[in-house]
Amino acid sequence: MRNRLALTVLAGLLVAGLGVTLDAQRQRASPHEKAQATVDGANLSIEYGRPYVKGRKIFGGLVPFGQVWRTGADEATTLVTDKTLVFGTLTVPAGTYTLYTLPNEKEWTLIVSKKTGQWGASYPEGEDLGRVPMKVSATAGPVEQLTIKIADTAAGGEVHIEWESTRAVATFVVK
């Protein structure tokens, strides 16, 4: 009986220790923010980690060209919408999605994934809802911390991603 109690206590401590270790591995390295907006009656939010440049080469360096990027830090970036959005030819029904991007020197692609809840940089191949091109330009000045904005425009809305000296924009309309 005593041995069983000791084993139960030891097993509990091991499980608790494992939980603490796993939580420590998932500690956020960057501050997080939620960009929110109402565009043509649709309530949207994008939650993401905001890493800093810290003197590093970001695009074509830390974020390689031609590779899918989680577009933020820590957990994958999440888009939530309560109405259907249309990005070019991609229809995004109301719901929760994960956003990725595929940056290149002159053009970017926005990737909307049906798979949610990912941690870290893993990209769930085969889970894309779809992909759309983004317009890329230079920012007016250096952007030290990754910033994602949702803008209301006369023709619908835009998602802006800005970091280092790059701005990528995806336009959408509410259906």
Q: Which whole number is the average pLDDT over 53-57?
A: 96
Q: Which whole number is the average pLDDT over 56-62?
A: 96
Provide the residue ranges of all domains of the chain, joining segments of one domain with +.
1-27, 31-174
pLDDT at 2: 56
pLDDT at 4: 56
Q: Nearest-CA neighbor of 167 among 147, 143, 139, 146? A: 139
This prediction's pTM: 0.83
What is the C-alpha to C-alpha distance for residues 174 and 86, in angstroms, rounded to an integer? Answer: 6
pLDDT at 119: 85
Q: Nearest-CA neighbor of 77 among 110, 107, 104, 39? A: 110
pLDDT tens digits for range 130-171: 999 999 999 999 999 999 999 999 999 999 999 999 999 999
pLDDT at 28: 80
What is the C-alpha to C-alpha distance for residues 39 and 23, in angstroms, rounded to an integer? Answer: 36
Q: Nearest-CA neighbor of 150 among 170, 126, 124, 174? A: 170
